A and B are shown apart, each in its own frame.
Chain A
Amino acid sequence: MTQTTEKASPTATAGHAAPAQPAVDFRTEPAKYRHWSLTFADDVATLTMNVAPDGGQRPGYELKLNSYDLGVDIELADAIQRVRFEHPEVRVVVVTGGIDRVFCAGANIMMLASSTHGFKVNFCKYTNETRLYIEDASENSNKRFLAALNGTASGGGYELALACDQILLVDDRNSAVSFPELPLLGVLPGTGGLTRIADKRKIRRDRNDVFSTLAEGIKGKRAVEWDLVDRIAPLSRWSEAVTEMAREMADGLPSGADRKSIEWSRLEYTVKGASRIYGNVSLVVSEDGRQGALEIQLPKDDAGWPKSAAEARDQGAKWWLLRTLRELDDALCHMRLNLPEVGLVTLRVTGPSAELAAKADSLLSDNHWFTTEVRHFAKRVLKRYDNTAKSFYAIADEGTAFGGLFLELLLASDRQYVLNDADAPVSLALGSASFGPYPMSNGLTRLETRFLGDPTRVDALRDELGQQSFVVLDADTADEMGLATSAPDSIDWDDEVRLAIEERVAYSPDALTGMEANLRFAGPETMETKIFGRLSAWQNWIFQRPNAVGQRGALHCYGTPQRPEFDYRRT
């Protein structure tokens, strides 16, 4: 039986030893999928889950009954992304299972039991983001998702269904939806399931209580009556029922038939030890493996930039802005899953001027389908940055160009160091990007969140911008207006930045993760903040407790001859 205690880091101790496991590669494409198939019929896409049991990401577990691991979810995330960019004409995505009488059994238990805690948390975070991407596509991409449950959907399987707009369950007197986590495994559903039954489907609390403690779940008419699913359909007319419901959902949306798709080409990068060097982005890991230097390099000038949304679409994945976002997204996933020991990341956006940076996102306010998609993608990448458990310091020193969309990255960081020296002028450029198009998961802009206690600060910055598309702020002004944590001159700069870094990397990584999560998301709760907040606070806590992972914990005992033994004291 596998151990659930922390073992050696699952990945490279960067800069030191060779990786124990090959680094996770987040790139894939439909022709390489092992666990999904993606097919199209006019404006309806069908995403069928058929997990290869021997296709686990690492040895030691078998992916039975359409249970998933990170590799399965990477394909799902890729498919959702491709449906948005490569198939803008699609109005409905049917998510279904390819195994007889099984939709999906959720995350693989043996995989979880044999993973380090850090991996489990980041695995859950990634799968949560993927499900939120489904909801984002539904909200912003002229698409609806239909979960066509051809068989039992348990745990993460039902959570995947909950992320879809509508749920259709086969009525074969046997197939059910269920959350067996609590009764069988002594843990909680980890992909927002409890939040969604309460806050999205708004099911009654007592029914949710019964449902979430009933390992075998609820099927048929009662599942409809309790609103756990939207409809049921008999086996004999299953495919007609799926087609009809998909048609109904598609017809409720405007046509996307005139949208010309782009090719979502493969992302290329060079691996240097733990570092990944992309075209416009680089993530360089320090010798001791504890720090990462994330740099985004803007083009030298705007020659070759598209002049219109249509031109941007023609450039497609080759458009430097989209490419930069994809590279940044990959770098974030890489640091989360492959570089657990990197605790602090310094961020620099370099380029000829903040002004140029501020012009970069001007096309993203266009409501052309393609630029709209890129805008929402940028929003998701920024959120992924917000949700990454590393300390981020934005370093605005000589040669940096934080402007427009890229200024959001500075604001998304835990601290902002801005060099304020007449001999080495640094400026920031504030644009409309900071006032609405890229909300955080709490529903507010980063400026609103930053100045939660003094909204006049946001007003002052908006006044500064006025009717212009952007305004350049020198270091002094930026500091005065509250955009810098610290703005030392050249004499103090090196020491101040060095000390801030050295101090940070010495603290307890657990405490830092908790502190940052508390401080980053000031302001109101949304379904999204609840999902991540409760994942961190409850699920991760339970996952660490002896009642789950101790020698006689429920997760540890699952699948073994032993029954769990609980410490019955409530906390």
Chain B
Amino acid sequence: MTGIDYSQKIPNNVDLKSDKRLQRALESWQPHFLDWWGAMGPTDYNANDVYLRTAVSVDAAGWAQYGYVKMPDYRWGIFLEPQQADRTIGFGDHFGEAAWQQVPGEYRNWLRRLIVTQADTEPASVEQQRLLGHTAPSLYDLRNLFQVNVEEGRHLWAMVYLLHGYFGKDGREEAEELLERRSGNPDHPRILQTFNEPCEDWLSFLCFTMFTDRDGKFQLLSLAESGFDPLARTCRFMLTEEAHHMFVGQTGVGRVIERTCQVLKDGKDPRAEGAIPMDIIQKYINFWSSSSTDLFGSEVSSNAANFFRAGLKGRAYEERQPEHLAMEGVYNLPTMGPSGITTEEIPLRNAMNEILRDEYVKDNEKGIAYWNRVCERFGNEYRFSLPHRRFHRSVGIYAGRHFDLEGNPIDEATWKANVDRWLPTAADKAYVKSLMKPCYERGKIASWIAPPAKGVNDQPSDFEYVKL
């Protein structure tokens, strides 16, 4: 069944009404979720109509239905891709066995940990972005922010459904705790550090959706391969929505670049015109891409090997791999030897985090190429680049050492001498912050960003995306 049952308190396509126990559990969690949204979401806009997309079914025709809705009334629900008959596990030691419809007891704790870690990032980003509504550069962008927010909320629902549906009492407790941890809270922070970083300006938000949400995409791709079928089906549908978030990031940063290119082409000074100089944009890219690169975890990981062999978390696009056991091969990992960088052979399974990171880096490169095409279009010679994955890392084998943007090891003094050229300085942040003024007149746009190429759902440029 692909159609979503909106007659229920909790919209779903999993026939929730026939599972009374689960329905009751989720219905008792729902008010806590709404309380959380009321406290930690974009609360100052709860009364406004927002032109949002809501899924009415998970197929191509139904997942994007547009209309005005007040955010607290958004129909958060549970949508899974349809079950494929006879699906088998696609990798690891259980390769070829029937996919699990229930949690295998042996892997229960690992699975729960994987789901909780993924789930924790969803409400975290809503919390990180909760005040950005006050400084959006246009109604179009404001609406995109809210779309991202409600969908992150829905992704939380997707994960909570798994916790409630398959993990008993522990799962329900974990679901409660997802609402208790808070981004940046000193007492109960979010699990992963990137999700405790403040996201206070729009350039950060756009970089976040470009780089951090792209980590989410690859985590979801690897979980979409899971031998635990309900997790795989949930993640596949989440990927559809996640793609929009990256669209916001990629085109958003692209529009910032476009605006600066336009100012430069007109022979004017970006700062005088309230645009953002290229080097500051590059520094934000450096910060957010390196911080998000950390999210893939250690290069050599027993957990990753365990998750792979157990059939819980695969590689992105596992079906494209030549073989699916990954028992034999090795991954050539550059490591820091006494005399510079040397290569170490890591058993393939232990290198799964790095293999996923490879795909992520490739994907990021495409985004950079897109931005450089903007420069080309304006005849601007500036070229953006993705910092090397070793640059500015806090997790894994490169953490605690210094590398330049090309990934060459450097000493502390060199780092200190260059860090202000590579990462946003306090002055850079202050300048970006000074530009953050709301621009909520229909059809108008702030000075630091170009208008979008086209409207949401082909709406005209002066469309009232949010009724303020």
Determine if B109 and A215 form an interchain contact, defined as CB atoms under 8 angstroms apart. yes
Contact check, B309 vs A559: say whether CB atoms are below 8 A apart: no
Partner of A559, one of B93, B177, B189, B350: B350
Give CA–CA (A563, B302) in the complex, Å.
11
B31 at the interface (CB under 8 A from A): no
Confirm or deny: A467 has a beta carbon within 8 angstroms of a beta carbon on chain B: no
Are the CB atoms of B350 and A561 closer together than 8 Å? yes
List residues of chain B with CB within 8 A of the CB of A560: 305, 347, 349-350
Shortest C-beta distance, B41 to chain A (Å), equals 20
**Residue in A closest to B309 when the chains form the complex, CB atoms:** A563
By a CB distance below 8 angstroms, the chain A residues around B310 are 563
Q: Is A265 an interface residue (CB 8 A)?
A: no
Q: Which A residues are in CB contact (< 8 Å) with B347?
A: 560-561
A561 B309 Cβ-Cβ under 8 A: yes
Residues on B with beta carbons closer than 8 Å to the beta carbon of A214: 109
Interface size class of B (residues with CB under 8 A): 20 to 34
In whole angstroms, what is the CA distance A235 to B190 when docked?
A: 13
Q: How many whole Å from A65's CB to the nearest CB in chain B?
A: 11
- Does B191 sit at the interface, judged by CB under 8 A? yes
Tell whether, in the assembled complex, residue B305 and residue A561 are in contact, meaning their CB atoms are under 8 Å apart. yes
Taken together as a complex, chains A and B put the C-alpha atoms of A444 and B327 apart, in Å, by 56
| Any B CB within 8 A of the CB of A526 | no
Q: Which residue from B181, B308, B327, B349 sits with its C-beta under 8 Å from A173?
A: B181
Closest to A559 in B: B302
The answer to whether A172 and B93 have CB atoms under 8 Å apart is no
Q: Give min CB distance, B314 to chain A, whole Å.
A: 14
Is the C-beta of B180 less than 8 angstroms from some C-beta in chain A?
yes
Within B348-370, the residues touching A (CB, 8 Å) are: 348-350
The residues of A that contact B188 with a CB separation of less than 8 Å are: 171-174, 234-235
Interfacial chain A residues near B350, Cβ < 8 Å? 559-561
Q: Closest chain A residue to B93 by CB distance? A: A563
A216's partner among B113, B191, B306 (CB-CB below 8 A) is: B113
Cβ of B187 under 8 Å from chain A: yes
Within the complex, the shortest CB–CB distance from B110 to chain A, in Å, comes to 8
Whole-angstrom distance between the alpha carbons of A236 and B186 in the complex?
5
B224 at the interface (CB under 8 A from A): no
The interface residues of chain B lying within 8 Å CB-to-CB of A215 are 109
Residue among B181, B187, B302, B309 with max Cβ neighbours from chain A (10 Å): B187
In the complex, A216 Cα to B111 Cα: how many Å?
12
Least distance between A2 CB and chain B CB atoms (Å): 13
Contacting A at CB under 8 A, from B91-115, are 93, 109, 113
| Residue in B187, B302, B305 whose CB lies within 8 Å of A235 | B187
For A561, the chain B residues whose CB sits under 8 A away are 305, 308-309, 326-327, 347-350
Range of interface residues on chain A? 10 to 19
Q: How many Å lie between the Cα of A236 and that of B189 in the bound state? A: 11
Known: A235-B187, A561-B347, A561-B349. A173 touches B177 (CB 8 A): yes
Residues of chain B within 8 A of A174, CB atoms compared:
181, 188, 191
Chain A positions within 8 Å of B113 at CB level:
216
In the complex, which of the residues B113, B189, B310, B348 has the most CB atoms of chain A within 10 Å of its own CB atom? B189
Distance between A503 CB and nearest chain B CB, rounded to angstroms: 48
Contacts of B348 in A (CB 8 A): 561
Give a binary string over B182-224; 1 marks a CB under 8 Å from any A CB, 0 the rest.
0000111101000000000000000000000000000000000
Is A562 an interface residue, CB under 8 A from the partner? yes
A183 to B348, CA, bound (A): 24
A560 to B302, CA, bound (A): 7
Q: What's the Cα separation between A563 and B95 when bound, in Å? A: 14
Interface residues in B117-136 (C-beta closer than 8 Å to A): none
A564 to chain B, nearest CB (A): 10
Q: Taking the nearest CB of chain B, how far is it from the CB of A215, in angstroms?
A: 6
Distance between Cα atoms of A173 and B181 in the complex (Å): 7
- B181 touching A559 by the CB < 8 A rule? no
What is the distance, in angstroms, from A257's C-beta to the closest C-beta of chain B? 36
Q: A235 contacts B186, CB within 8 Å?
A: yes
B406 to chain A minimum Cβ distance, whole angstroms, is 26
What mask results when residues 502 to 524 of chain A are scored 1 for a CB within 8 Å of chain B, else 0? 00000000000000000000000
Distance in angstroms between the alpha carbons of A216 and B114 in the assembled complex = 12
Whether A226 is near chain B, meaning CB under 8 Å from some CB there, is no
Q: Does A264 contact B (CB under 8 A)?
A: no
Q: Does A558 contact B (CB under 8 A)?
A: yes
**Complexed CA–CA distance, A559 and B177 (Å):** 30
How many residue pairs link A and B with beta carbons under 8 A? The number is 49
Tell me the bound Cα distance from A559 to B347 in angstroms.
10
Contact across chains for A236 and B109 when beta carbons are under 8 A apart: no
Q: Mask for A524-565, Cβ within 8 A of B = 1, else 0? A: 000000000000000000000000000000000011111100
- Distance in angstroms between the alpha carbons of A129 and B302 in the assembled complex: 31
CA distance A560 to B346 in the complex (A): 10
Interface centre among A173, A215, A216 (most CB of B within 10 A): A173
Q: Which residues of A sit under 8 angstroms from B177, Cβ to Cβ?
A: 173
Query: Is A173 within 8 A of B309, CB to CB?
Result: no
- List residues 390-408 of chain B with CB under 8 A from any CB of chain A: none
Question: Do the beta carbons of B180 and A173 come within 8 Å of each other?
Answer: yes
Chain A residues lying within 8 Å of B189, measured Cβ to Cβ, are 172, 235
CA distance A172 to B305 in the complex (A): 27
Chain A minimum-CB-distance residue to B349: A561
Query: B305 contacts A559, CB within 8 Å?
Result: yes
CB of B254, distance to nearest CB on chain A (Å): 36
A171 near B187 with CB under 8 A, answer yes
Mask: chain A, 388-400; 1 = CB below 8 Å from B; 0 = not: 0000000000000
Interface contact A234-B187, CB-CB below 8 Å: yes
Chain A residues contacting B326 (CB-CB under 8 Å) are 561
Give the CA-CA distance A234 to B186 in the complex, in Å: 8
Nearest-neighbor residue (CB-CB) of B182 within chain A: A173
Residues of B within 8 A of A234 (CB): 186-188
Q: Which residues on A sit within 8 Å (CB–CB) of B93?
A: 563
Which residues of B sit under 8 angstroms from A558, Cβ to Cβ?
Answer: 302
A1 → chain B closest CB, angstroms:
8
Query: Which B-chain residue is minimally distant from A64 (CB atoms)?
Result: B298
Closest to A174 in B: B191
Option from B187, B305, B306, B327 in Cβ contact (under 8 Å) with A236:
B187
Interface string of B296-316 (1 = CB under 8 A from A): 000000100110111000000
Question: How many whole Å from B312's CB to the nearest CB in chain A?
Answer: 12
Instruction: Compute how far the CA of A562 lies from the CA of B305 in the bound complex, rounded to whole angstroms.
Output: 8
The answer on a CB contact under 8 Å between B187 and A172 is yes
Contacting residues, chain B, for A559 (C-beta < 8 A): 302, 305, 350
Chain A: CB-nearest residue to B326: A561
- Minimum CB–CB distance from B387 to chain A (whole Å) comes to 24
Which residue of chain B has its CB nearest to the CB of A233? B187
Chain A contacts with B in 171-211, Cβ cutoff 8 A = 171-174, 183
Complex formed: what's the CA distance from A55 to B188 in Å? Answer: 32
C-beta contact mask, A160-172 vs B, less than 8 Å → 1, else 0?
A: 0000000000011
Q: In the complex the two chains form, what is the Cα distance from A234 to B188 in whole Å?
A: 8
Q: How far is the CA of A115 from the CA of B291 in the complex (A)?
A: 38
Of residues 225 to 276 in A, which have CB atoms within 8 Å of B's CB atoms?
Answer: 234-236
- CB closest residue in chain B, given A1: B347
Nearest residue, chain A, Cβ from B351: A561
Q: How far is the CB of A47 from chain B (nearest CB, A)?
A: 24
Interface centre among B177, B191, B305, B327 (most CB of A within 10 A): B305
Q: Closest residue to B347 on the A side, CB-wise?
A: A561
CB distance from A146 to the nearest CB of B (A): 21
Please, which residues of chain A bring their CB within 8 A of the CB of B349? 560-561
Interchain nearest-CB distance for B329 vs A (Å): 10
Q: Name the B residues within 8 Å of A562 (CB-CB).
A: 309, 327
A-B contact pairs, 21 of them (CB 8 A): A171-B187, A171-B188, A172-B187, A172-B189, A174-B188, A215-B109, A216-B113, A234-B186, A234-B188, A235-B186, A235-B187, A236-B186, A236-B187, A559-B302, A559-B305, A560-B349, A561-B327, A561-B347, A561-B348, A562-B309, A563-B306
- The 4 A-B pairs of least Cβ separation, nearest first, read A561-B349, A234-B187, A236-B186, A173-B188
Given contacts A236-B187, A561-B305, 14 further A-B contacts (CB under 8 A): A173-B177, A173-B181, A173-B188, A174-B188, A215-B109, A234-B188, A235-B189, A558-B302, A559-B305, A561-B308, A561-B348, A562-B309, A563-B306, A563-B309
